[in-house]
Amino acid sequence: MLSSARKAGVSREEHLDLVFRALADKTRRELLAQLRKGPAMVTELAAPFDMSLPAVGKHLRVLENAGLIKRNISGRVHRCALNASPMKTANEWLEKYETFWSETLDSLGEYIRRDRAKGKARE
């Protein structure tokens, strides 16, 4: 299912920007962590935070615009649920760099092993 941003004609790259921007904030990551346990009302999500309900609502709108949460409104009750599929897109983008980091870390490990071996040979 596409997020509201993707439905509105936002390109894949622009959607990826929205996802990373949403994930860049600690409060929003903590909100997502709460939603991993299951759907929750906005008031339940706001409870652990030392901020106003409207401030939490702004964070939730950022997550919703990125497609990371779905909101169901029934009267005055807003329930939110996690939608992790946009994170899959972000992960696919990050995986493109996995080989680079693996090779870089392997090279660093080899350099450290050689440097330690040289140090022991001098002793």
Domain count within the chain: 1
12: phi > 0 → left, psi -120 to 50 → alpha, else beta; which? alpha
The whole domain housing 58 covers: 4-122
Asked whether residue 101 carries a pLDDT value surpassing 70, the answer given is yes
Encoded amino acid at 71, one letter: R
Number of residues that this document lists for the chain = 123
Tens digits of residue pLDDT in 21-79: 999 999 999 999 999 999 999 999 999 999 999 999 999 999 999 999 999 999 999 99
Give the CATH number for residue 95: 1.10.10.10
